[in-house]
Structure formats: structure tokens, C-alpha cells
Copies of this chain bind each other. A is one copy, B any other.
Amino acid sequence: MFAECGIRLTAEDVGNIEVAGFGLGELDVQGLELITYVNNDRYCAKELLLFPRQTCPEHLHPPVGSDPGKMETFRCRAGKVFLYVDGEAAETVQAAVPAGSEAYYTVFHEIELNPGEQYTIMPGVKHWFQAGDEGAVVSEFSSTSRDEVDIFTDPRIERIPVVEEDL
């Protein structure tokens, strides 16, 4: 999918693709594939990939010390993304909330992003997003990323995988 929309990756990039299943065991429904190009104490850039109708679950980026929380800009590169944030709910929500997880999707102000369109999410704002029927590739430009502090609405979620050591 990255190659199809012209995004060139090195062999090292390919080896570093992160597959985030959020500990839910249903990657195709709730999950995200990503490459972190750079993440330092000033800024971060990632390339996100969503399979058709794959959903990144609702979460927010809290303040951490002197950092007011991650601020991020999503720019759709290919496909279509339905993004939901705090605010007036859409009359008709175009995404389908993952079955069995309805309780953990609470914000429904809809932003539809097509290729070349972008939206900036302020710190502390709850959000979730789902690709359209063809999937999506999204560039994320942001302040420093600290995934381990993200707060998910669904208490079952573990953003950073728990490694079970075989002792």
C-alpha cells in the first residue's frame, strides 16, 4: 500500500514497521500499521497505514511535565479517512464503530479526509479514526510522541505490547 501511493521505504524502514493491535486481538478491525521516521524531543513524523475500514481506537494525548500534550496534524496521502474528535456529533456517522466496542467510542464530530486534505488535533482532544473502503495512508506531523502515556477510552487497551518472557 505504501508503494502504491509512491512512498519509498528503505529496507530498514520496512523492518521497523510497527503493527499496533492495541492488545485487542482483532488487528483487522482495531489496529494501525506505522513507520516512525523521526521522533526527538522537539518533533515527530510518522507514516500511518490503515487497512480497509481498520480503526484506530479513541484516545487522547495528556500533558506530560512541561509538555502540554502531543499536538498532531494528519495529512491524508491516499485513500480516505474518517476522523472523529470532541465536538458536535455528525448527523450521520460514516464510519462503523467496531462491534462489541461501542462503549469505548464517545466522540463523533466528523472530519472526512481525502488525499491532500489535513486536520490538526490539539492536545487533550479525544479522537479516533477509521479508513474508508480502500484503506488509507496518512502522514502524521506532530510534537514529540510519547505513545506510552496515551489515554485510551477502552480500558482493555495496551498501547505498548506486554512482552511475556519465556523463562
Contacts and interface: CB of A to CB of B under 8 A. Distances in A.
Interface residues of A, number: 29
Contacts of A141: 37-38, 43-45, 141
Contacts of A77: 6-8
Contacts of A5: 6
A135 to B, nearest CB: 15
Contacts of A75: 37, 45
Interface stretch (A22-30, A114-122, A125-133, A150-158): A114-122
Interface in A1-45: 5-10, 13, 37-38, 40, 42-45
Contacts of A139: 45, 139
- Count copies of this chain in the complex: 2
Contacts of A42: 42-43, 71, 143
A78 interface: yes
Interface in A34-91: 37-38, 40, 42-45, 71, 73, 75-78
16 contacts: A6-B7, A8-B77, A8-B78, A10-B117, A37-B73, A40-B120, A42-B43, A42-B71, A43-B44, A43-B141, A43-B142, A44-B141, A45-B45, A45-B73, A45-B141, A141-B141
